[in-house]
Chain A
């Protein structure tokens, strides 16, 4: 149960509205289209609900997520189609194997009025390699499984599910049974890289035990995947703010894992070099990857436990101009020491210095600094299983407040003592699980730094040096000779 609550707390945006109980049959779905973009670690699911209000003042729409998906869904957002602003979503309990989410619409709908809601979710760890082992020259294939029907507490006129694989080489897919009630045509069609289930017409209220037991079933897709399945087992990011150096240092310690099929047999360099040379179609090993870093960064470093990794290329972009939205980013091409074959691990540390002005601003009215620190840097196509972000504020910072883009598993304030500190620096530690590319958002931290805190470090150093000199001065003048006599010059 704990896991469920973790998953739910992770899902939901903070809501000011009290949870309203779903008014059954205040809506009907004229159409539901679910598009599943299959990936490796991440699966993006976009579900569009064409909704028609049946009662007046219908303001809360309920979306149902089946139990088998709620655990793997790690990011969720509901928008009105065409709008940028997400709607507020509240968890409203489960009915059997279905979990309900209440979406508060911006304004109540009139009878017969329609609206298109778009539910975007990202599932992690939803695919698994099959066969679980692959030799160096064999292809990588993954399996994905999902419930056939999109559940809803409302009647649905028509619904369909599209599964899009990354390559047209689809090895197999399930043909659903017992769907004659909803369709007379072929229940599944495949064209190119897309497999479509449906359209299924006149689906009754499906978010109940009865429907689930009668009709709900899992469909499975077995497909070739042309990209490496990457997982970041652990990400430890620390961001250190320095006002003296006008610097924001960010350092990531990363444990990278190739979660694709495990390497069968052993690694052969000769075959690998041949594969690279002839541009082979085998993609389950990682030779290099690219990450986007902020513009204007300096002193980028990339090393692992035994030293510098000399095989990376960095193209730095200039710092963004003030107020400019789409800034250029620096591009870092990382080459691990060795190609990461299936099941292999690699750890590294990546860090850089960025001008503080790029991510901080000073609010003169309150006397507070506001700094934004991104939760993570995306490694394309990978999920971060465990993340820990530590933001280290300047020594002596007070009135620390922070707001995150989504709730953390835990966050705590502590003290971090480092370079020539006397009392230590306040630091905030956030912990997250299963971060995806949708989670690359900044945390905002605001704090005050009094002038005395700025001066603390030079004062401390000056005091120590002064006392050292004073001691030396006194020590030079004290004569400890026991035996007073004219010293022989040597």
Chain B
């Protein structure tokens, strides 16, 4: 039985070696979210007064619109949550992938033992024998959030399992993200654009990819925090409100506690402030908003142990500090200006700006040079030079998430939003208020980063949704508006594209009759409206009101509106399809189908992990490639040498060396590290492509980085430069521990037939590798997980190879005595 011939369809997109490099850490109290009425969206906002009836009082209209918004928002939240539940419905309520298993494990500790135990948690099983101080090396925001929810529910005697909280946290927060995006976009345009943006962010695959149920990772809450912080920053800036600035700081702190990507906010807000400054838009509002955000945000972020003094010591944070200083200078300068004559001020300004600039730059260089400010990290360099990691830090490059983004993934993740996105950005130039500047900067920066690294697509997604919503809502505003443009004699009423709304009811009625004749003009009118938008954007609308523009007739509107609706409908289908097929696989459980079409689950990972958990000593140490470290710790509850928190390159290289060396060389390494079991992933039987043989070259490369004399990548290729596992494989390949363990007794499975590795489509030699220093301990049903036990030293002191040969009754080959006579040269 059990030899499943159905070829398992590897679902790409979320590749097997996804990791979160960043070690996260903790900070405790999630500050209670202060609930103030202003944050509640539904009671505010103006209503576009459609001339429906004169009998309806404005209050009724406002209330109705507010109710509609609440209903719409409820539906958006429901859609956002529901579309993320594919994984739970198709599979089960399970934690996905790799990093989430660590977060889940940490959350369990937090829920079971309380916050202080978690804070001081030293995990001796990870990075054996080094251990890991978990409390100080994680971003604790995620775990703390789940812990708070858990305790809250249990306080009310709602015995919800911590696993279910973890699984459903991301969908829950996606509804909050939709709300935050709504608030943010409302600041940009109006609440109808806000609702569109909320709907987009709710279902867009670029965000769903990191927030399906079970994807219990930092990004699950981080995007919400990102958007709410940006919204609060914009609100603070608009009003010059210290309260909003403080709130922004509080959420910034939450963000710092939750995700390493907080550096994005740390740099976005200062860049925005700097650009405003350079545009000559310095104001008291900017000063108050920025200073309150920076001072409180920085101080509180330093309370997170994992961040510590980084905000004043590393280069990534220097921009924010610099802008903070600059604002003080500018504020002082404007104070001075109000007391001095302009001539004196000019002189003073020139001198002081030059000297201060030189001084600041000099100080920065000196401090970096002296080591007071840490230089940029490798991961940061790889943002500017995509080849950097490959050259110097293979461990970063080996993570598929850190690869540059391929073009198709933009369309897969954002679909039609990606081409509305530039339109929305262009529209931002029309008003170019302070907040629009923010969106423009955000768009430029995030676009760049998304192109550099796949995983940063996530930060691009919100701004794409916002600006696409602005663009689409502008379009709809123009075309849905039932009011016809005024007849030529009424010139001022509707000059530019958006303003068509102002005609009053009487005129609309009158024009309705005219509309039918105006059919032929509609197409021309539509295109001229679009060009008008662009013109308006280019030349900040000083157009001569010579020619009347607008849309006459229902057919013209219908063409555009139906088109837009069509795009939206396709978008929904696309999102559903992508979510269901690409992003909802837990990757712990694989799905295939039986011949009769029913679903067949391939559960090899859990089978093997559970076997480890149940039938090996509690203190056993398992060596595997680092991808599986968190899963082994989470599901098998056993010690690991390396895991997805890849902080110690040497340790990983040691494992890489053990895997890529012959048995005799690997054995001392295994024994020195007290390894009891070695676990490899082998997909050759099923055709599961994310297996260790395919990752093997990274192990070799990483090992080569530390031991360039012993491990050399070219040795693992055939002389013709091919990567082969069949008869023609190189000797180094065939002798490596990884190869031997993967193919141990594999050919025997096929009896007399050809043993085919279905991943690499190569024939495996009949005579398979033999193992002397490790023995097969467990192989899962479909051979995906193979576990080998490391033998203890031979009690008689022989080396295991000869002990084995003796046990099998083989005669020891007498080595030829060295010839006495030297050959004459």
Contacts and interface: CB of A to CB of B under 8 A. Distances in A.
Contact of B779 (A268, A304, A307): A268
B157 A417 contact: yes
A227 B610 CA distance: 24
A304 B606 CA distance: 10
Interface stretch (B314-322, B411-419, B699-707, B770-778): B770-778
Q: Which of A308, A418, A476 has the most CB of B within 10 A?
A: A308
A420 B156 contact: yes
Interface string A404-417: 00000000000001
Given A270-B749, A464-B156, 18 more contacts: A265-B775, A267-B778, A268-B745, A269-B779, A269-B781, A277-B1, A306-B606, A306-B610, A307-B92, A307-B94, A308-B94, A338-B610, A344-B614, A345-B615, A347-B614, A419-B158, A420-B156, A476-B37
Contacts of A276: 1-2
A337 to B, nearest CB: 4
Given A346-B614, A347-B614, A420-B158, A337 B783 contact: no
A433 to B, nearest CB: 23
A325 interface: no
A3 interface: no
B615 A344 contact: yes
Interface in B232-275: 235, 238-239
Interface in A283-331: 304-311
A490 B610 contact: no
Q: Which of B187, B235, B749 has the most CB of A within 10 A?
A: B749
A337 B92 contact: no
A18 to B, nearest CB: 49
Contacts of A268: 745, 776, 779
Contacts of A422: 157
B611 interface: yes
Q: Which 5 A-B pairs have the closest CB atoms?
A: A269-B779, A308-B92, A310-B601, A337-B607, A306-B635
A366 interface: no
Contacts of A83: none
A271 to B, nearest CB: 9
A273 B1 contact: yes
A484 interface: no
A238 to B, nearest CB: 12
Nearest to B603: A310
A419 B158 CA distance: 5
Nearest to A489: B46
Interface of A: 265-270, 273, 276-277, 304-311, 337-338, 344-347, 417-422, 464, 476, 488-490
Interface string B81-99: 0000000000011100000
B239 A490 contact: yes
Contact of A267 (B46, B603, B614, B777): B777
Contacts of A490: 187, 235, 238-239
Contact of B745 (A265, A270, A277, A464): A270
B285 to A, nearest CB: 11
Q: Which of B601, B635, B779 has the most CB of A within 10 A?
A: B779
Contacts of B776: 266-269
A338 B778 contact: yes
Nearest to A257: B614
Contacts, number: 89
B777 A266 contact: yes
A418 B159 contact: yes
B607 A420 contact: no
A490 B783 CA distance: 62
Nearest to B607: A337
Contacts of A419: 157-159
Contacts of A309: 603
B799 to A, nearest CB: 20
Given A306-B610, A338-B610, A345-B614, A270 B187 contact: no
Given A266-B776, A270-B748, A337-B611, A418 B157 contact: yes
Given A276-B2, A476-B37, A306 B611 contact: no
A304 B610 contact: yes
Contacts of B608: 338
Given A269-B780, A344-B614, A476-B37, A307 B606 contact: yes
B157 A306 contact: no
B769 to A, nearest CB: 14
B680 to A, nearest CB: 14
Contacts of A269: 776, 778-781, 783
Contacts of A308: 92, 94
Contact of A273 (B3, B156, B610, B635): B3
A418 B159 CA distance: 6
A232 to B, nearest CB: 14
A480 to B, nearest CB: 9
B164 to A, nearest CB: 12
Contacts of B748: 270
14 contacts: A265-B775, A267-B779, A269-B781, A270-B745, A305-B613, A306-B606, A310-B601, A338-B608, A338-B611, A344-B614, A346-B610, A347-B614, A490-B187, A490-B235
Nearest to B91: A308
A305 B603 CA distance: 14
Contacts of A488: 239
Contacts of B614: 344-347
